[in-house]
Amino acid sequence: MQGPIGARLIQLVPTILLVSIIVFALQQLMPGDPAVLLAGDAAGDPHVVAAIRAQLLLNQPIWAQYLHWLWAALHGNLGYSWRLSSPVSALIAQKLPVTIQLSAMAFFFSVAIGVPAGVISAVKRGTAWDWIANAVGLFGLSIPTFWLGIVMILVVSVDLGWLPPSGYVPLTQDPLRSLETTIMPAFVLGNAIAAILMRHTRGAMLTALQQDYVRTARAKGLSERRVILRHALRNALIPVVTLGGLQLGTLLSGAVLTEQVFDIPGIGKLVVDAVFNRDYPVIQGVVLVSGLLYVVINLATDILYSVINPRLRGG
Amino acid sequence: MSATVREAAPPASPPASPPASPMRLGLRRFRRHRTGMVGLILVAVFIATALAAPLISPASPIAASWDAIRMAPSLAHWMGTDEIGRDELSRVIWGARASLAAGVVSVVIAAAIGVPAGLAAGFAGGAIDAILSRLVDAMLAIPFLILAIALAAFLGPNLRNAMIAIGISTAPVFMRVARAATLDTMTRDFIEAARAIGNPPWRIALKHVVPNIAAPVLIQATLSIATAIIAEASLSFLGLGEQPPLPSWGSMLNAAQQFLTQAPWLAIFPGLGIFFAVLGFNLMGDGLRDVLDTHRRG
């Protein structure tokens, strides 16, 4: 099993390098001189601006700036927040657990809703169940995450008063209150992915149910329940697992909006606040970390894939 | 939101005479695709609303009226008024323009970058393919909205930059679709035949490959407009799109969030606008996929 995974790891190197180049290139898009921007009130003083420029290495050729930045990033140094004057890496490390909690709960919701809905609509193909599941799936794909969040706050918090409309309590501080503050955002965030998972599970189940091994299982006299769960679903889940990994990007994108709507202090809120304050190093840091997360999670998904699908093991 | 599996379309009728191209046959089948047609109608209403905004909007979308602040929906103001007394219905109607512009322009940008790159990668293969494919992998590794937010933030907050940011962030998807369709077309016999009779590569690419990748690109474009409309609304919601006082559905929802208890209607109508526009393009894209995608049909 080491062979293919080792090969995958080596393949990741150019991808990660290119992600870093994209992130570095972002700052070249910036209109105006970063040194002048950073100098703030002292922008009129050429000495101050020159000092900042020297400090940020803006006098050096662009490739040298990149290598310097990459070398620092490889050592965990993503620069300093312009506004909060603390290291970007520390800010991200502080906010990331919140986003991970939210995303994990959202993923749980999406699997708990999407996979059974997909199975039911495939098994009951052409019935009202299928129609309802498809309609709900399409609804989930078409509704903007942040609007669903606002409407949920309106109904669940403002009208019914069941859950707090915003805020966050850390899991370590008070687990119950933490769930209370995150359950609604997690549902909202999981919704879009539930729709995608539902459609894929349905497609994969429809294919699986037509296979010979399903006919064999039925011919053996196994119960329909066993045929569906043990034989068809097990095989149908293989492509769905890969898809789950690929949806991490959707999850992180959605987290930005969900955290904004529900006022949850994760990396999504961090990047939005950074945008408002033109805190460019923080924006770059979040982009870099989210890209790396995606690459790592997808490697993990590949490994998981080879575990569920023994045919892929060793080759 | 990119790849979704749909069941096979209903069997096609035998080709009518005179012989038509597969694309035209597919589009003819589309007329009998019920949900696809529902999508087309929603899209038509959306486009008509955006184009006819100056004619059908009952009031100015930006004129404040201090004696009509946050009024609930009534006969005078069907969707009520907002926090500075502007007619919500007029703002929703005008807001369709920002959404339509963002949906179409950013997808045109994405296709203009992605399709030639995918064609080149699939056609040339080798080092060009390897480099372009790795670049696409890297861009797809960065979550779509985070990349769009970062691009829009560095470019500066306005609708034009939001469209550029969404277009660039969407381009890799088009590159992948065009590359896969090109590779698929390259294995067909007529390419071999075109080569055998001495056609230069550029002619094969333009005359024989391009027409055959048009269908998957069209399907992707329709679905990507849906994604781009949500992305524009999201960027506007975060303050990175159309700037006030000009109306856009995303920024209207952002403002509405401050008045959820006093004026809940402000949070409903712009969201419905986004929902129906996106639903329309999604239904239409699914329908086009059913009738045009020969791979998914049994």
Partner-chain contact A295 B141, CB within 8 Å: yes
Contact (CB<8Å) A29/B151: yes
The confidence score (pLDDT) of residue B11 equals 47
The minimal CB distance from A15 to the residues B141, B239, B240 is found for: B141
CB contact under 8 Å between A199 and B4, yes or no, is yes
Question: Region A21-35: what's the mean pLDDT?
Answer: 82
| Tokens describing residue A1 | 């099993």
Q: Are A122 and A209 in contact (CB under 8 A)?
A: yes
pLDDT of A9 strictly over 60: yes
pLDDT tier, B298 (very low <50, low <70, confident <90, very high otherwise): very low
Percent of chain A exceeding pLDDT 70 equals: 96
Work out the end-to-end distance of chain A between its first and last CA atoms, rounded to an integer number of angstroms: 8
Which residue from B148, B158, B150, B156 is spatially nearest to B251, judged by alpha carbons?
B158
d(CA A220, CA B173): 45
By CB neighbour count within 10 A (0-12 exposed, 13-18 middle, 19+ buried), where does A9 fall? Answer: exposed
* Chain B residues with beta carbon closer than 8 angstroms to that of A290: 142-143, 146
Chain B, nearest residue to A200 by Cα: B5
**pTM, to two decimals:** 0.88
**Residue A200: its pLDDT value, please?**
87
**Location of structure tokens 């005078």:** B76
Q: How far is A194 from chain B (nearest CA, A)?
A: 11
Contact B5 A283 (CB under 8 A): no
Nearest to A134 by CA among A201, A208, A53: A201
pLDDT digit string, tens, across residues B45-77: 999 999 998 998 888 888 777 777 777 888 777
Q: Which pLDDT belongs to residue A1?
A: 45
Of A29, A151, A256, the CB nearest to B267: A151
Q: What is residue A87's DSSP assignment?
A: B
Q: What is the CA radius of gyration of chain B?
A: 22
Q: What's the pLDDT band for A45 if we cut at 50, 70, 90?
A: confident
Q: What is the DSSP letter of A266?
A: S
Report the pLDDT value the prediction gives residue A256, as an integer from 0 to 100.
92
Tens-place pLDDT, residues A139-187: 888 999 999 999 999 999 888 989 888 888 888 888 888 888 999 999 9
Kindly state the percentage of chain B with pLDDT values over 90: 50
Q: Among partner residues A143, A153, A200, which is closest to B5 by beta-carbon distance? A: A200
C-alpha to C-alpha distances, A294 to A15, A75, A250, B22, B139, nearest whole angstrom: 11, 20, 10, 39, 11
Which amino acid belongs to residue A147?
W
Q: What is the mean pLDDT of chain A?
A: 86
Does B235 have pLDDT greater than 90?
yes
Mean pLDDT of B20-42: 85
Confidence band, pLDDT 50/70/90 cuts, at residue B294: low
**DSSP assignment of A148-204:** HHHHHIIIIIIIS--S-SS----TTT-HHHHHHHHHHHHHHHHHHHHHHHHHHHHHH
CB contact under 8 A, A253 and B279: no
In the numeric block, which tokens belong to residue A82?
Answer: 């312009």
More confident residue, A255 or A37: A255
B78 burial level (CB within 10 Å; 0-12, 13-18, 19+): middle
Minimum distance, in Å, between the CA of residue B73 and any CA atom of chain A = 17
Determine, for residues B233 and A144 on separate chains, whether the beta-carbon distance falls below 8 Å: yes
Closest Cβ opposite residue B146 in set A125, A202, A256: A256
Name chain B contacts of A287, Cβ cutoff 8 Å: 142, 146-147, 150
pLDDT of residue B2: 38
Checking if the pLDDT of B8 tops 70, the result is: no
pLDDT of residue B128: 92
A146: nearest CA partner in chain B: B234
The angle formed by the CA atoms of residues A237, A243 and A247, to the nearest 5 degrees, is: 140
pLDDT at residue B231 in the model: 94
Residue B174: which pLDDT band, with cuts at 50, 70 and 90?
very high
pLDDT at position B249 = 94
Least confident of A75-89, A286-300, B56-70, B257-271: B56-70
Q: Which of A301, A121, A302 is nearest to A203 (CA)?
A: A121
Q: According to the model, what pLDDT value does residue B18 have? A: 54
Identify the band that residue B278 occupies on the pLDDT scale cut at 50, 70 and 90: very high
pLDDT at residue A209 above 50? yes
- Cα B236 from Cα B185, distance rounded (Å): 40
Instruction: Pick A22's closest partner by Cβ from B139, B144, B234.
Output: B139
DSSP chain B: ------PPPPPPPPPPSSP--HHHHHHHHHTT-HHHHHHHHHHHHHHHHHHTHHHH-SS-SS---TTSTTPPS-SSSTT-B-TT--BHHHHHHHHHHHHHHHHHHHHHHHHHHHHHHHHHHHHH-HHHHHHHHHHHHHHHHS-HHHHHHHHHHHH-SSHHHHHHHHHHHHHHHHHHHHHHHHHHHHTSHHHHHHHHTT--HHHIIIIIIHHHHHHHHHHHHHHHHHHHHHHHHHHHHTTSSSPTTS--HHHHHHHHGGGTTT-THHHHHHHHHHHHHHHHHHHHHHHHHHHH-TTT--
Percent of chain A at pLDDT exceeding 90: 31
What the block records as the tokens of A225 is: 């329940």
pLDDT in tens, A222-271: 888 888 887 888 878 877 777 777 788 888 889 999 999 999 999 999 99
Average pLDDT of the segment spanning B7-26: 57
Residue in chain A closest to B232 (alpha carbons) equals A144
Q: What is the pLDDT of residues B102-138, one digit of tens each?
A: 999 999 999 999 999 999 999 888 899 999 998 998 9
Residue of B nearest to A18 (CA): B138
Reported as a single tens digit per residue, the pLDDT across A84-102 is: 879 999 999 999 999 999 9
**Cross-chain CB nearest to B134 (options A18, A252, A271):** A18
CB contact under 8 A, B264 and A295: no
Instruction: For residue A231, give the DSSP letter.
Output: I
Which pLDDT belongs to residue A82? Answer: 81
Q: Provide, as residue numbers in chain A, all residues whose Cβ is less than 8 Å from the Cβ of B274.
A: 144, 147
CA distances to A121, A236, A254, B17, B160 from B153, in Å: 42, 41, 18, 55, 12
Q: Rounded to whole angstroms, how far apart are CA atoms A164 and B183? A: 53
* pLDDT confidence band for A204 (50 / 70 / 90): confident
Check CB contact under 8 Å for B1 and A141: yes
- Write out pLDDT tens, residues A151-161: 999 999 888 98
